[in-house]
Amino acid sequence: MAEFCHKNRLMRCDRGHSVFFEDEHYNIHCFATKQGAEAFLEKYGGEWFDPRERGKGVNWNKWYKGSAGRRP
């Protein structure tokens, strides 16, 4: 992944994190641009993550998938 990002000049944050949703583990990759994220998705697959759906406090590693659109 690092080689792909370097070769394609994609600016990806080095410090990633992970979340869990329904007992599945997800690695989160952050990019400087939407175009960079789209290139990464095309190559490796995956899905979009909205940081507003990440848990807070002791639940920091939980992903409340789909909840961002329902929050006030």
Site of tokens 């000049």? 9
Q: Which residue has the higher pLDDT, 13 or 49?
A: 49
pLDDT at 43 over 50: yes
pLDDT at 19 over 90: yes
Long-range pairs for 23-27: beta carbons < 8 A, 24 or more residues apart: 26/63
Confidence of residue 69 (pLDDT cuts 50, 70, 90): low
pTM more than 0.85: no
